[in-house]
Amino acid sequence: MSKASDCGVLQLLTGLGLARIKTKPDYRRFSGQVHAIWPETFEAELVLEGIQAPHLAWTMLFRTLVRGLRGNPLHPRPLDQDSPELAETVLTFVKLHLRIQKHLPDLVLWPEQGLDADQLIGDGGWCDLCGQCCCHAGTVPHPPQGIDYPPFFYHALAGETLYPQPFCPFLFQAMGQPAFFCGIHPVKPIACSRFDKTDCERGSQGRGCITNDS
């Protein structure tokens, strides 16, 4: 357990989530808050690295951990409070994202500066990339035929590395709009590939709408 203090995590996530809506936040603006929450330098540096990461979905961390968004009514994560446990959750999520990102080039390449939302067309246009269907506690991690993931991907996809996770750690955020995409889209698990418009429409109310974070 980190020695994180119990104040300021929700405030930090709010600032980062709103700043990240269109582009990467300026990490220097958040450095003081980060060091106050994670006094251990190596932990603070990891979080700052996460702020500079091109795909980390800070806006979804804000929506789920601050606003309490859950992708479905059966999601087991209780509402979050400002606490050392929440700081630990954020740190774990950031570490996981950075580790996933390091292994991605073996499977799929995304632009290093981030992926422009204008380049994304959600399944032919019906999906507006709200990302809510990926806000679950884990999925069946079977890859498509001929693909094998690094071993820890299977645990991360199943939601075993951070339980109960606020959303799938492979959900990435685009640039330019609050749009979200699958970080392993071309090789995503079979269960995810089978998710279609009917499943989307069967999901919780409000899915399919880009919500206003301001």
- Interface ranges with ligand SF4 (CB under 6 A): 122, 127-134, 139, 157, 168, 170-171, 182, 184, 188-189, 192, 200, 203, 207-208
Between 54 and 208, CB nearer to ligand SF4 = 208
Work out how close the CB of 118 gets to ligand SF4 at its nearest, in angstroms, rounded to a whole number: 17
Task: Report the DSSP beta bridge partners of residue 164.
Answer: none
Work out how close the CB of 138 gets to ligand SF4 at its nearest, in angstroms, rounded to a whole number: 9
Between 38 and 136, CB nearer to ligand SF4 = 136
- Residues 6 or more apart whose CB falls under 8 angstroms from that of 20 comprise 57, 58, 59, 62, 173
Nearest to 180 by CA among 61, 78, 77: 61
Q: How far is Cα 181 from Cα 25, in angstroms, rounded to an integer?
A: 19
Between 35 and 142, CB nearer to ligand SF4 = 142
Work out how close the CB of 60 gets to ligand SF4 at its nearest, in angstroms, rounded to a whole number: 10
Q: What Å distances lie between residue 136 and 83, 139, 162, 165, 190, CA to CA?
A: 22, 8, 12, 7, 16
53: left (phi over 0), alpha (psi -120 to 50) or beta: beta
Work out how close the CB of 106 gets to ligand SF4 at its nearest, in angstroms, rounded to a whole number: 16
- Cβ–Cβ under 8 Å, residues 37 and 48: no
Work out how close the CB of 183 gets to ligand SF4 at its nearest, in angstroms, rounded to a whole number: 6
Between 38 and 170, CB nearer to ligand SF4 = 170
Between 88 and 128, CB nearer to ligand SF4 = 128
- Cβ–Cβ under 8 Å, residues 185 and 158: no
